[in-house]
Structure 1
């Protein structure tokens, strides 16, 4: 008995010694790193070749900081091993038309697999979040900037960046978890992010609800560590304010939309038959099936004197699941007898009469802005970004339509098809004026104004 007690005492002493040793080592590492902070802004953006709106924000943010503080280095933390200062400055220009003042410096990350979705078949959300901490640890051990700017939504890295002595800024496109997600699990609604097996089980729904509540609490804590949080829409701002509880440190800055070239397109559309365009990746949340059903419904109710329209799907597939989803859409088009009226083409905005968007709770909706800038009347989902920020009256004029159900979408399609040329022109013109609110130039102005109070103070 005495021997057991002695052994337990020895184990406790060893554990305490190990914890103290690790703590001391961590403090020493952090002390050295904090003293070696560089006069730079470190952009945490592990994927610098995704080609989407998030990457456009990255390069526009780099340019905005270079214009605001030319003496600050801009450093990109990336997991793309072929990325170099020269290749990134070329990519910003060639892919997005953004001309950087100087090439950004590059810090290569080798642990990106820890934030990849495929690494976590279950508990993906929390797995990726904790994986991002490990990736950020690698990043900050290689280079410690005075300012740490996350442009990819990895909020769990913020406390670590603060420990390294960084001022933490972020541009949040959408919350990792939203109150809407909690509501759907609570109400047991089956959607792309709430599997029907879980939705149909009371026990599984309760377990998932506990998991989501715990995660939302953690997300709120780590998010509150940001010194400044920029958000891309009113919907995102509302959720982030409720979750992070730092309303005085949250600023809304709409994302940069490439509207200049689109606004040069003529508003008069002579295309026969009328064309309705849908620009989106073939992902489940984009609800292409609803669009196809609404289109078929509207075609059945067309007046005899109105030409039969065409529906044009423009998008890409990320993986085999998306390819299968696209094939299912083709099969459905045949079943609905509209296969000859559905096209998959690129570069059709200039001839489109309308643009359709059907994702629920789209945090912003860049494709909707692009429709409006190009002169295509938008038919967007009546929620989140399109409802709260984009498809709003401009100078008292209607700028488009909002819908939720198949019938509402079909009704909007029919209204547009039945309009006179002058009515279409009036809405398209108002929509184009509205789209100018989301230009790249507006982003530069708002972004610099938001960060100025933080990055213009003296270094210490």
Structure 2
């Protein structure tokens, strides 16, 4: 009996100690909020379109609000104000007005994919809450800005008294994902074992349904939700149910810098470029297989093309995927026709785009597709996946002229490659010119204008006070 009483007393004391610590941290954070915009971006070296959005968003706020500090919550131990400024200009050509402050996070492992072999999505989501707790305890800003899609952190930021703004590149879960699991379709986020089993698929549908409810609740805690495309907007409005707080702001694409490149391309050794991080959803294998099929179908009198993979590696898993891609090229006997460029500088990327006849993209339900716009601006005709952003917003006719190709299978990609390589120079130049004109709709300047217009009611209304 005495042991039971002691145990009960100890557990009660532990509970109140935890509650007291949480309350103390929250009260302290609320009372010591800094006049700053805190960008929650744990990976500041991912090299993708999300990082470009981060730096352009920082620059836009620096231009518009001189009295607000910009700080970056990052898990990269080597990140400093100076290195981040250099990275923004070197990788993306974005010149920040002043160095941002840096808050280093030590608990990033809790959002790593490798930490959760099963139930990865919900594991990373709850892990992000723990990581944002660390961030907000270290420094609580007036405005909490999520640029990486960690919606489960929004209620916590609201508890800390922050105004929550987000730029959502894609929904963590979508109706499309639920549909694929229901149809037992195997994909990068639905492995073959589950896809083959009706029982496991039904269990996963329940899991996804429950998760979508949770995702809808946490997302609705945003004061302002910016989305990057028509496809993303339709899903976010269905899930979060805050259409009055949702704004579509197309991501910043370096159209002006790329549009000065010549439309004329070398024909003796045509280059097909693929710009994307080496992540599973980017489906690089499809591109490689389609390229292999196209080479076999090409007339021997036509010049033999080269495929150039250009992308960033975030971690060891990405490195393994890159190596697998190299091994696959050997297996398909096209290793002499394929080149790999990892973590290239912005200057080198522009040079590679300038020499490309075409650009290939194969991610299903790509939320937007910055690389597709970059292809078009550089004069490289896009061959993109027939879904989501590329289909709904980007690869559309301009003044009645076709701007590129849409494909959904290895055979369709191969057919588009062959068709492009067989086109006359006049036809190709007409299509490239139309694609370049359309790319202007997604310029960096348009992002700055739309972004500032979207955040103005939130930042101005608050007047940097509570």
TM over 0.5: yes
Alignment partner, residue 401 of structure 1: 405
1:295 counterpart SS class: helix
Change (3 A) 1:262 1:270: same
Larger radius of gyration: 1
1:373 counterpart = 2:373? no
Equivalent residues in 2 for 1:420-439, closer than 5 Å: 420-439=424-443
CA distance in 2 between counterparts of 1:93 and 1:256 reads: 14
Change (3 A) 1:316 1:15: closer
Q: Tell me whether 272-281 or 51-60 shows the greater mean CA deviation.
A: 272-281
Alignment partner, residue 418 of structure 1: 422
Change (3 A) 1:43 1:293: closer
CA distance in 1 between counterparts of 2:79 and 2:292 reads: 46
2:186 counterpart SS class: coil
Change (3 A) 1:84 1:339: closer
Change (3 A) 1:277 1:48: closer
CA distance in 2 between counterparts of 1:32 and 1:384 reads: 44
Give the drift of 1:21.
6.2
1:456 counterpart SS class: helix
Alignment partner, residue 333 of structure 1: 332
| 1:441 corresponds to which of 437, 441, 445 | 445
CA distance in 1 between counterparts of 2:25 and 2:363 reads: 46
CA distance in 1 between counterparts of 2:13 and 2:443 reads: 57
Alignment partner, residue 307 of structure 1: 303
CA distance in 2 between counterparts of 1:273 and 1:29 reads: 62
Q: Cα deviations across residues 408-453 of structure 1 (Å, max 9, x unaligned)?
A: 2222223222222111111101111111222221111111011011
Q: Cα deviations across residues 253-278 of structure 1 (Å, max 9, x unaligned)?
A: 11112233321111112421333222
Q: Cα deviations across residues 23-63 of structure 1 (Å, max 9, x unaligned)?
A: 45544542332122221111111222222222211111111
Check conservation: 1:230, 1:252, Cα contact below 8 A.
yes
2:36 counterpart SS class: strand
CA distance in 2 between counterparts of 1:309 and 1:95 reads: 27
| 1:175 corresponds to which of 165, 168, 171 | 171
Give the drift of 1:22.
4.7
Change (3 A) 1:146 1:376: same
Aligned residues, how many? 453
| 1:123 corresponds to which of 119, 124, 136 | 119
Report the TM-score, using the length of structure 2 for normalisation.
Answer: 0.90
| 1:456 corresponds to which of 452, 455, 460 | 460
CA distance in 2 between counterparts of 1:55 and 1:281 reads: 12
Check conservation: 2:38, 2:72, Cα contact below 8 A.
yes
Alignment partner, residue 92 of structure 1: 88
1:37 counterpart = 2:15? no
Give the drift of 1:302.
3.5
Check conservation: 1:333, 1:342, Cα contact below 8 A.
no
Q: Cα deviations across residues 55-97 of structure 1 (Å, max 9, x unaligned)?
A: 2111111111111111111121122233222332232223322
Alignment partner, residue 140 of structure 1: 136
Give the drift of 1:147.
0.6
1:100 counterpart SS class: coil
Change (3 A) 1:103 1:278: closer
Change (3 A) 1:144 1:286: closer
Check conservation: 1:271, 1:351, Cα contact below 8 A.
no
Q: Which runs of 5+ in 1 are unaligned?
A: none
Check conservation: 2:143, 2:163, Cα contact below 8 A.
yes
Equivalent residues in 2 for 1:220-259, closer than 5 Å: 220-259=216-255
Alignment partner, residue 368 of structure 2: 364
CA distance in 1 between counterparts of 2:60 and 2:193 reads: 47
CA distance in 2 between counterparts of 1:424 and 1:27 reads: 64
